[in-house]
Structure 1
């Protein structure tokens, strides 16, 4: 899909999923109960009407952005000028965009804003009125987030400007490694040349891969001296595996990434997987499948701690070349080790930071003092269009005044010559 198709598709099922939530019996029971809450935490994912819960329970709310910085959360916080340095999550660009990419990114952002304003938000307004009849306007609720938790960190992607209530907690889900199962541990311990771990995540599963693509990958793996652990969900496969490839229906990903013999992680490019790889200092080959994974893959390659390969571009030649490049060229390992060092060198653990800020928001009743002053501006004030209009008026006034004065001067001079 193109970025435009992705946006239209996602914006179609977003309100539909939100309506399924608000009409669910358990949800109805909750909002008609006598429950009270000090704080509400939302994931920001096409669910604007659900912000009515903040009004219903008279509680401040925090937004969790699972994909890090994006237009979905930057706009809520009033962060400035993001289209120049943050690519849209539906495009395939890294943060270091070319002139054409910035033009495309800005044009796409304008399209998204118009489509959202005229097509998407009216649906959410309707759901909000039906579910929370006495709630304020959707805009008032939307721009009232106390904090935005960003699932990223400067060690993971590029450093970007952010307002005070945008808090980076990337890696909050990472936990210390636990011992592997006996069979998997022995398999990895005995790998004198190292191990490659391959997983496409939980949503897109390897077992659904086209047989011809699967066979290409297996042929490449069979020629490697490294062992391979492949998360393969179907344990009843009838095809033959190379002797150096092991299928596992489920893999404790964080624990296997921590093993000293792991040399490479082949992943779909979900942000949690990338964060875990950085935490443990493992280079990446990213095969993005959908959503923001293409953007993540571009950033991984741009920052030099991995390479990307589109699923539709998998051939025996380029798959083999990229794997060997990542295994042989030490710069990828060095770059990811530096990223790992930066990640670990923080003043507090991400989860502790998140908990501290949650309690802070509760202590200060929503902490309105943290919100950016830009949220108080109209759109034309934010983009300084009123200042530009005033400047144009003043310039025109001065030009007209000069012209009038010159005409009067010429007229007076002509009269004096006649006299």
Structure 2
């Protein structure tokens, strides 16, 4: 089959999660055209990469780590929406390959998108190419995904990725979760979708585009939704039949470490602590806010060695022989080493998956998006501890390291969680590819009717409205009838003349 993978948003972890599916589809003989700002290394011959610019590069550094932490649920939704729209407009105005795609007469059997991360405009490509439509989702539990799939959230126990709570909520937590669910749903319908529709109508034009369904209708009409989740990574909840969990596709077979790293880790008889806040957090902010010194003071006193991945303008020099700071480390291979004892993380989903796969307990500090929820889950199931950013001090870090190293329950819980993660009938990549090929063979057979129904029908608002109006009408008629009966009765009594008066 010919497959178009159109993933223009340059969020590296989102691409890393689904690269293996694109690679495996190409290895199985499918022709994959991959539009991306994050190119896949050494792609197969049948995977053609159309590389576009990192259109968010100009925005990097405009919002601080602290600023992102302070955003509420609508603020996070707005930020994601604005970034996506910024990329979309520049794509269709400045990227010749994307403009060429819109005007092309190519034939595709399937289009793979990241539609639900504020990229609903791209669903117009499914209509243009008259192709099966698949959306990939790099997060766990997302209110908007469930809304579009036709099986909306029940906020009494289903948690949006922006809510830092467990599935066992107090009344106040349920109240907050309802707020997040309501604000996310309404904000997405009335703030995000309008501009997405404008982008599609302005830029994605072709013969017949005028009769195209709205981007919301197209986003609801997915043949398949692949979600980077698994029961071991979060809380179980019901999903529509065409929503498939394939969390862990980013995992790769272990490879030998470079010799300097292998020697460093092999010689760490007391263990290694691995420290990485992912590919988006600027470590220079730790320096500016005095957090860097707290980390160094703690690390310098440890018997363990430390590998610290540094993302920033300049790697600092530290007077600590047990600390090695570099711009990049082979994270999965380090976590796989028997001497790795702790993973200091920002709580990103990819890092959580890799830590669980290799059974390494976590010390987490959340920054944005799904990270607070991920780390709340880590605490709840006993596979690590969480430190708030404002509480990153020498004392709190020392406590966290000693807690993980001195309490075997974290390692034991992580071992059980790892066993749960690995207990599957097939690998995540094989499962993802299986469902893609299933849809190529059979079409929309997995999609429930609710996915194509407008929200007022899914929520039975029209039925409830009819019942309420009928009840009010019945009350009104009853009131009018009783009033008429009373009037008749009272009128009859007044017309009756007493016998005594008649004699007179």
Q: Does 1:104 align with 2:181?
A: no
Give 2:339's match in structure 1, choosing from 257, 261, 284: 261
Give 2:226's match in structure 1, choosing from 145, 149, 156: 149
Q: CA deviation at 1:208?
A: 4.7
Q: Does 1:116 align with 2:185?
A: no
Q: Does 1:386 align with 2:462?
A: yes
Cα distance in 1 for residues equivalent to 2:327 and 2:164: 30
**Conserved? CA contact 1:235–1:249, under 8 Å:** no
Cα distance in 2 for residues equivalent to 1:234 and 1:114: 37
Structure 2 unmatched ranges of 5 or more:
1-69, 499-504
Q: 1:324 to 1:162 in 2, by over 3 A?
A: same
Give the TM-score taking structure 1 as reference length. 0.91
**Residues 256-294 of structure 1: per-residue CA shift (max 9 Å, x gap):** 111111111111111011001001111111111222212
Q: CA deviation at 1:69?
A: 2.2
Q: Does 1:9 align with 2:83?
A: no
Give the TM-score taking structure 2 as reference length. 0.76
Q: CA deviation at 1:402?
A: 7.0
Give 1:48's match in structure 2, choosing from 87, 107, 120: 120
What is the count of residue pairs matched by the alignment? 416
Q: Does 1:327 align with 2:405?
A: yes
**Conserved? CA contact 1:95–1:299, under 8 Å:** no
Cα distance in 2 for residues equivalent to 1:390 and 1:232: 60
Cα distance in 1 for residues equivalent to 2:339 and 2:162: 35
SS in 1 for 2:295: helix
Q: CA deviation at 1:106?
A: 1.7
Q: 1:252 to 1:140 in 2, by over 3 A?
A: same
SS in 1 for 2:341: strand
SS in 1 for 2:155: helix
Q: Does 1:28 align with 2:122?
A: no
Q: 1:97 to 1:210 in 2, by over 3 A?
A: farther
Cα distance in 2 for residues equivalent to 1:353 and 1:125: 33
**Conserved? CA contact 2:144–2:188, under 8 Å:** no
Cα distance in 2 for residues equivalent to 1:8 and 1:352: 35
**Residues 368-389 of structure 1: per-residue CA shift (max 9 Å, x gap):** 2211222243333322333334
Q: CA deviation at 1:295?
A: 1.8
Cα distance in 1 for residues equivalent to 2:187 and 2:237: 26
SS in 2 for 1:369: coil
Partner residue in 1 for 2:136: 64
Partner residue in 2 for 1:18: 88
Q: Does 1:170 align with 2:247?
A: yes
Q: Does 1:213 align with 2:295?
A: no
**Residues 192-222 of structure 1: per-residue CA shift (max 9 Å, x gap):** 2111111111111435532521110011112
**Residues 351-370 of structure 1: per-residue CA shift (max 9 Å, x gap):** 00001111111112xx2221
Alignment of 1:15-414 (within 5 A): 15-23=85-93, 24-43=95-114, 44-133=116-205, 134=209, 135-210=212-287, 212-233=290-311, 237=315, 239-364=317-442, 367-392=443-468, 395=471, 404=481
Q: 1:217 to 1:383 in 2, by over 3 A?
A: same
SS in 2 for 1:46: coil
**Residues 302-331 of structure 1: per-residue CA shift (max 9 Å, x gap):** 222111112222011111111111111111
Cα distance in 1 for residues equivalent to 2:197 and 2:474: 47
Moved more, 157-166 or 185-194: 185-194
SS in 2 for 1:196: strand
SS in 2 for 1:203: coil
**Conserved? CA contact 1:7–1:90, under 8 Å:** no
Q: 1:293 to 1:26 in 2, by over 3 A?
A: same
SS in 1 for 2:136: strand
**Aligned-pair RMSD on alpha carbons?**
2.6
Moved more, 264-273 or 217-226: 217-226
Q: CA deviation at 1:236?
A: 6.7
Q: CA deviation at 1:93?
A: 3.0
Moved more, 79-88 or 257-266: 79-88
**Conserved? CA contact 2:102–2:204, under 8 Å:** no
